[in-house]
Amino acid sequence: MMPVERLLIEFLLTFLSRDELNAFLRSPQNTATLVGALIAVSGALLGAFLLLRGMALTSDAISHTVLLGIVVAFLLMVHGFRVEGDTSSPWLILGASLAGVGTVALTELLYRSGLVRQDAALGLAFPLLFAIAVILVSRFVDDAHLDEDAVLVGEIGLAWANTNSHCFQNCQSVTVTEDHPAAKMTRQCVNCRELGISPRDERAEFIEVCGNCGPYSPAQAWNAGLLDSEPALVFFPKSISVTLAMTLLTLAFVLLFYKELKLSTFDPALAKALGFRPGALNYALMALVSLVAVGAFDAVGSILVIAFFIIPPAAACLLTDRLALLLLLSPLIGAAGAVFGYDLARGLLFGFLPIADGIAFVNRLFGLDLVEEWDSSISASMVLMIFLFFLLAWVFSPRYGLISTALRRANSRRLFDDQVVLAHIHNHQFTAQAATELRVETLHLHFRWTQRKMGRVLARLRALNYIRIVSGGAILTERGEERVHRFRATMLEAHNMPASLA
Amino acid sequence: METRSDLALSIDDLTVAYHEKPAIWDIDLDVPEGALMAIVGPNGAGKSTLIKAVLNLIPRAAGTVTFYGAPYEQARSLVGYVPQRGSVDWDFPTSALDVVTMGLYGKLGWFRRPGHAERELALAALEQVGLVDFADRQISQLSGGQQQRAFLARALAQDAQIYFMDEPFAAVDAVTENAIVDILRELNQRGKTVLVVHHDLQTVAEYFDWVTLLNVEIIASGPTAENFTLENLQQTYGGRVSYLHGGQLLAASAP
């Protein structure tokens, strides 16, 4: 990871000065927004396929059970390999992803037994693994980065603080030994505890101990005042490299296997018959979902991450009916949610509307005493923003939104009413009963409609020049005649109409 | 076991079971090249299971299947498959043209993307089923019959030697039924072998020159004229077959 990160920084340094880059990365807002957006992009790309496969809840199960992988990998790092536990270490992320794949395998094992249904199998597998993880966390892990709070919502606001330092100039590593001028030597009693005596006791024996000996990286050395001239350092947040790597991996997977993913999602049987391997692809997809869930864990926890997977494609589905466009729109919606979500957490709706003003207005209006200051969880605000975009698509989508659907339905109801009346006139005009059947004043009685409704329909039909009123009775105009015939022709092919309209 | 390579399809001792309950039982079936064959039988007779097992979509408990003497893995490109319409989600965000193009994915193999040539082939297949005007339409906006024809076009685009169709006539309108029959006949004239799971007993003799009567086991199989008899049908459907006067089949009470 480190050499790749260095290459990336060197690339960035061709556009920015080192100070500008450091200033950018040390801003909590920039790092949180960037990390959130990257999670949203990778999550939405994979989520689109999960949604189309009817596996939205599988991502929820996976994001919960990767906690078990994270805890086990964390404990292994600390107690097995005796290194510092770090939830953004690539090894931990890879190892923990296995837990997600394990969930899917366990679910299939339960399901294949034929004794439980598929949804029940999922409901069985994931609480088990999550419960084990929670017990392990509370029992064996006492690290600030892995407490129950972090599990819930993550700490995206602190992502900027956990960095790797890269030195580019004037790089001097220092090893402080006991004879180094900066070494801080202290006396330590070696037998005080054993004998239960105070260091002042005359039996106490002392050794000289170095309090700050050891190797110092250039960054640490500069901080400790061991260097005379400042090294050229760049502090790169680990979360950015982790989320960037998983986004690139997801992007490569989706681009490379676009055709295969499409086919095996739409028609797995044909995919198999044509010699593609839908089973293997499914597991690859699940492995990536796990990887993203683990990579996102630090930032957004394991509960909220499902929102980054599912809501953006659910919104995009309402806006397009092309898969390629869906895969373009979903990440955009997710990323926009992350950007505006940060602002929302800091009290600005869409980055410019202060929420405090809104609360103050409500306070004035109702005489309430709500706290006007607004400072909330960043990850939760991002989810809220993504959901707001879904809501907008749900209501306003030109083709599938609530409003357009309601308008279309009202329109077709109106057309239907028109047709019923036109057909009635067509059937009875020029017959013996025409005078009674087609009298405008009594027409509504034949239909058992209200007079108002019939009046509306007749007025509309007259305005459209479909009917004329001749001596109190309705008859069709030429245009109306034509309309009836056209309708009959389409009625005969009613079975050819789309299933959704039939 | 002998395999004759002049047979389009040779099934030998094929058994498929779900949890030790046989769905199809010891099937032996030889289909000569160029046959247009209906597979009929009551619900739960294992018609779809037979097709899926032949195409290796579900595990076989026993038996061998060869296409022109070769196992399925080597004969993939010779085989076209039209699954039941209800087996996929028609709300999937894609167009009719795209669905048809999927039939060409097998020839493309991994990673290669469909290009201009594939687009032309897919459009030609849509033309054949009379859907070329609907090429860009979202598939949920197609009627049931049009969806079925899109599936058929997809199989046509595969340009296979032997086709398996799972209930292509289920719940389609008259226009689509005629279109499908025309295509079946055309495939037949071009020497293709076609096996169709079929429900409507009244049209078997009219549409198909070969028939297989299946009820877990094979009751009869061969030219329609000799095998599509009342006796065989009663054995297949368990006596629940009634005739119209004039000797015409009405329907089986279990469709």
Residue ranges of B 195-254 with Cβ closer than 8 A to chain A: none
Q: What confidence score (pLDDT) does residue A285 get?
A: 93
Closest Cα of chain B to A257: distance in Å?
6
The residue that leads in pLDDT, A228 or B142, is: B142
For residue A111, is it within any domain? no
Would you call A494 an interface residue with chain B, using a CB distance cutoff of 8 Å? Answer: no
Closest Cα of chain B to A248: distance in Å?
18
Q: What confidence score (pLDDT) does residue B1 get?
A: 44
**What's the pLDDT band for A183 if we cut at 50, 70, 90?**
confident
**What's the pLDDT band for A1 if we cut at 50, 70, 90?**
low
Q: What confidence score (pLDDT) does residue A355 get?
A: 80
Return phi, psi of residue A68, to 5°: -60, -45
Q: Return the minimum-mean-pLDDT range out of A59-63, A373-377, B227-231.
A: A373-377
> Angle, nearest 10°, between helix axes A28-52 and A378-396?
50
Q: What confidence score (pLDDT) does residue B196 get?
A: 92
Structure tokens at B184: 């079946």
In whole angstroms, how far apart are CA B141 and each of A265, B91, B127, B146?
19, 9, 18, 9
Q: What confidence score (pLDDT) does residue A256 get?
A: 94
Mean pLDDT of chain A: 84
For residue A193, is it within any domain? yes
Structure tokens at B9: 């399809």
Q: What confidence score (pLDDT) does residue A51 get?
A: 93
Q: What confidence score (pLDDT) does residue B251 get?
A: 46
- Contact between A496 and B175 using a beta-carbon 8 Å cutoff: yes
pLDDT of B24 strictly over 60: yes
Residue finishing a domain among A204, A233, A262: A233
> Angle, nearest 10°, between helix axes A478-492 and A402-428?
110
CATH number of the CATH domain containing A454? 1.10.10.10
Residue finishing a domain among A233, A268, A284: A233
**A189 in helix, strand or coil?**
strand
- CA A208/CA A222 separation, integer angstroms: 26
- CA B210/CA B232 separation, integer angstroms: 14
Q: Provide the number of CB pairs (under 8 Å) joining chain A to chain B.
A: 98
The residue that leads in pLDDT, B64 or A183, is: B64
For residue A489, is it within any domain? yes
Q: How many residues does chain B have?
A: 255
Closest Cα of chain B to A264: distance in Å?
10
Residues 6+ apart with CB under 8 A from A139: none
- CA A397/CA B179 separation, integer angstroms: 37
Closest Cα to residue B53, out of B86, B31, B81? B81
Residue carrying the six token digits 């969930």: A103
Structure tokens at B150: 């899109």
Percent of chain B residues past pLDDT 90, beyond the cut: 20
Catalogue the E-assigned strands of A170-255: 174-176, 185-189, 206-210, 214-216, 232-237
pLDDT of A168 strictly over 90: no
**What's the pLDDT band for A316 if we cut at 50, 70, 90?**
very high
> What DSSP line would sit under chain B, residue for residue?
----TTEEEEEEEEEEEETTEEEEEEEEEEEETT-EEEEE--TTSSHHHHHHHHTTSS--SEEEEEETTB-HHHHGGGEEEE--GGGS-TTSS-BHHHHHHHTTHHHH-SSPPP-HHHHHHHHHHHHHTT-GGGTTSBGGGS-HHHHHHHHHHHHHHHT-SEEEEE-TTTT--HHHHHHHHHHHHHHHHTT-EEEEE---HHHHHHH-SEEEEEESEEEEEEEHHHH--HHHHHHHHTS-EEE-TTS-EEEES--
pLDDT in tens, A294-315: 888 888 887 888 899 999 999 9
Q: Are B51 and B27 in contact (CB under 8 A)?
A: no
pLDDT of A261 strictly over 90: yes
Would you call A274 an interface residue with chain B, using a CB distance cutoff of 8 Å? Answer: yes
pLDDT of B211 strictly over 70: yes
- CA A403/CA A397 separation, integer angstroms: 8
Q: Which CATH architecture has domain B7-252?
A: 3-Layer(aba) Sandwich (3.40)
Q: Average of pLDDT values for A330-358?
A: 87
Q: What confidence score (pLDDT) does residue A500 get?
A: 39
- Contact between B102 and A495 using a beta-carbon 8 Å cutoff: no
Structural domain range at position A225: 166-233
In this complex, the residue of A256, A269, A276 whose CB is nearest that of residue B87 is: A269
Mean pLDDT of chain B: 85
pLDDT of B4 strictly over 60: no
Backbone angle region of B232, left / alpha / beta, with phi > 0 → left and psi within -120 to 50 → alpha: alpha
Would you call A113 an interface residue with chain B, using a CB distance cutoff of 8 Å? Answer: no
Would you call B19 an interface residue with chain A, using a CB distance cutoff of 8 Å? Answer: yes
pLDDT of A494 strictly over 70: no
Closest Cα to residue B91, out of B161, B139, B124, B59? B139
Cα A211 from chain centroid? 47
Q: What confidence score (pLDDT) does residue A496 get?
A: 47
Residue finishing a domain among A209, A233, A257: A233
Closest Cα of chain B to A23: distance in Å?
42
Closest Cα of chain B to A321: distance in Å?
4
**What's the pLDDT band for A475 if we cut at 50, 70, 90?**
confident
Residues 6+ apart with CB under 8 A from A83: A77
Q: Classify residue A170 by its DSSP letter.
A: S
Residue ranges of B 89-128 with Cβ closer than 8 A to chain A: 89-90, 92-95, 98-99, 102-103, 105-106, 108, 110-114
- CA A333/CA A350 separation, integer angstroms: 13
Residues 6+ apart with CB under 8 A from A418: A457, A460, A461, A466
Q: Classify residue A346 by its DSSP letter.
A: T
- CA A51/CA B92 separation, integer angstroms: 10
Q: What is the CA radius of gyration of chain A?
A: 34
- Contact between A500 and B141 using a beta-carbon 8 Å cutoff: yes
| Identity of the highest mean pLDDT range in A480-489, B69-78, B96-105 | B96-105
In this complex, the residue of B56, B92, B173 whose CB is nearest that of residue A496 is: B173
Burial class (CB in 10 A: 0-12, 13-18, 19+), B213: buried
pLDDT in tens, B179-191: 889 889 989 998 8
In whole angstroms, how far apart are CA A448 and each of A411, A452, A455, A468, B205?
21, 12, 13, 22, 50
Closest Cα to residue B37, out of B220, B170, B172? B220
pLDDT of B247 strictly over 50: no
The residue that leads in pLDDT, A138 or A285, is: A285
Structure tokens at B151: 């599936």
Q: Average of pLDDT values for B104-108?
A: 89
Percent of chain B residues past pLDDT 70, beyond the cut: 91
- Contact between A499 and B140 using a beta-carbon 8 Å cutoff: yes
Percent of chain A residues past pLDDT 70, beyond the cut: 94
> What DSSP line would sit under A250-311, residue for residue?
HHHHHHHTHHHHHHHHH-HHHHHHTT--HHHHHHHHHHHHHHHHHHHHHHHTTTTHHHHHHH
User: Which residue ranges make up each domain of chain B?
Assistant: 7-252
- Contact between B146 and A496 using a beta-carbon 8 Å cutoff: yes
- Sort out which chain B residues have CB atoms less than 8 A from A499's CB and list them: 90, 140, 143-144, 147
Q: What confidence score (pLDDT) does residue A493 get?
A: 53
Closest Cα to residue B79, out of A396, A2, A273, A480? A273
Residues 6+ apart with CB under 8 A from A196: none
Q: What confidence score (pLDDT) does residue B245 get?
A: 38
**A41 in helix, strand or coil?**
helix
**What's the pLDDT band for A148 if we cut at 50, 70, 90?**
low
pLDDT in tens, A421-431: 888 888 888 77
| Identity of the highest mean pLDDT range in A80-89, A160-169, A408-417, A483-492 | A408-417
Q: Give bridge partners of residue B37 from the DSSP assignment.
A: B195, B210
Q: What confidence score (pLDDT) does residue B252 get?
A: 45
For residue A350, is it within any domain? no
Taken in order A415, A416, A417, A421, the sign of the CA dihedral is positive
In this complex, the residue of B90, B93, B105 whose CB is nearest that of residue A317 is: B93
- CA A493/CA A500 separation, integer angstroms: 15
- Sort out which chain A residues have CB atoms less than 8 A from B55's CB and list them: 273
- CA A166/CA A11 separation, integer angstroms: 13
For residue A43, is it within any domain? no
In this complex, the residue of B99, B142, B175 whose CB is nearest that of residue A498 is: B142
- Contact between B55 and A326 using a beta-carbon 8 Å cutoff: no
